[in-house]
Structure 1
Amino acid sequence: MDHGTAQIALRPFRADDAETVVAWFRTPEDALAVAGTGAPWPYRAADLVAASTGDDRRPLTVTPVDDPDDVVGHVAVVRVTPTTGRLARIVLAPRLRGRGHSGELVALAVAEARALGLTELALFVVPGNTPALRAYAAAGFVRAAPDREHPEYVRLVRQVA
């Protein structure tokens, strides 16, 4: 991947994007890795739409820069307090995984959080998801104390400058 040229972009999530995203969840473990321990199985488009609803959420669809209708990923920026937030439901299409796009996706999501006035971001990772832990560490996230409400996850945080 040419790191000097953006290859993906974010746009507002549309309900019809959900069908494409949930098609990437072929096993309960796929849904668990993206949607967490409360994810139903099978994970349906309506589940993603419901999880994307609320004034505290900004769900976003990942697309190629040159084709905003081609759904290649999803991320949500969730406001927790006026200045803190978290990234949720971070996923790339299988065809893009392992090609360096996760760093670009996280950078775009961090920029979105910054635009919302957030100064700190957290995210939760299912223990054992080593590729995700490596990708988030490369994006500047560090391990933090477990979240009291979700101690089953590895909690990572980073400042949004």
Structure 2
Amino acid sequence: MFHLRPRTVADCVVVINWIPDAEAMHLFTGTRLRWPLTVAQLTAMQAKPGFSAWTLSADQSQSPAAHFDLTIDGDVAHLGRVLIDPQLRGNGLAHVVVGFAKGQAKSLGASEMRLNVITGNEPAIRTYLRAGFTMYSSERPNVTSMNLVL
């Protein structure tokens, strides 16, 4: 059983420790943030209108098992920075995270969810396709854009 809760500064410290190098960070954040990732970079994003960041914790644990953020723009939720604790990967948790993200987006008033994945991040692309997302043409190089009607 997982529980969704708003991300805290302490969670940011944990999430940053899941990222071993610049390449892994690029898959997590794209080109918007710089290596080495810092708590200040993650928390600065909270100033963006419509932004919220979330963690999933296993059972009653306060330690995050996964992270994602949403930015609501009208009735569209932009899903970003999805990351799972490396020790928990490969067990289907990505599908759980996407389910929680969809539910949270709906509760925030979204009727559509969009996301961008670094092209070549096949595990993420497979996860989103399995969750019902479809690809659409992106003007950004090296990015696969996807959307889902909620």
Cα deviation per residue 1:18-59 (whole Å; 9 max; x = unaligned)? 110001111111110111122201111211111233331111
Query: Mean alpha-carbon deviation: is it higher for 121-130 or for 55-64?
Result: 55-64
The 8 Å contact of residues 11 and 63 in structure 2, kept in 1 or not, is answered as no
Structure with the higher helix share, 1 or 2? 2
Query: TM-score if structure 1 supplies the norm length?
Result: 0.88
- Structure 1: runs of 5+ lacking an equivalent: 1-6
- Structure 2: runs of 5+ lacking an equivalent: none
| Map of 1:3 onto structure 2 | none
CA-atom RMSD in angstroms: 1.2
Do structure 1's residue 18 and structure 2's residue 3 form an aligned pair? no
The 8 Å contact of residues 76 and 89 in structure 1, kept in 2 or not, is answered as yes
Partner of residue 142 from structure 2, selected from 152, 155, 161: 152
Q: How many equivalent residue pairs?
A: 150
| Map of 2:46 onto structure 1 | 52
Do structure 1's residue 70 and structure 2's residue 63 form an aligned pair? yes
Structure 2 counterparts to residues 1-150 of structure 1, below 5 A: 7-67=1-61, 69-80=62-73, 82-146=74-138, 148=139, 150=140
- Post-superposition shift, 1:105? 0.5
Percent of matched pairs sharing the same residue: 27
Query: TM-score if structure 2 supplies the norm length?
Result: 0.94
Classify the secondary structure of the residue corresponding to 2:95. helix
Partners in 1 of 2:45 and 2:24 — Cα distance?
16
Partners in 1 of 2:105 and 2:47 — Cα distance?
17
Classify the secondary structure of the residue corresponding to 2:124. helix
- Post-superposition shift, 1:8? 1.9
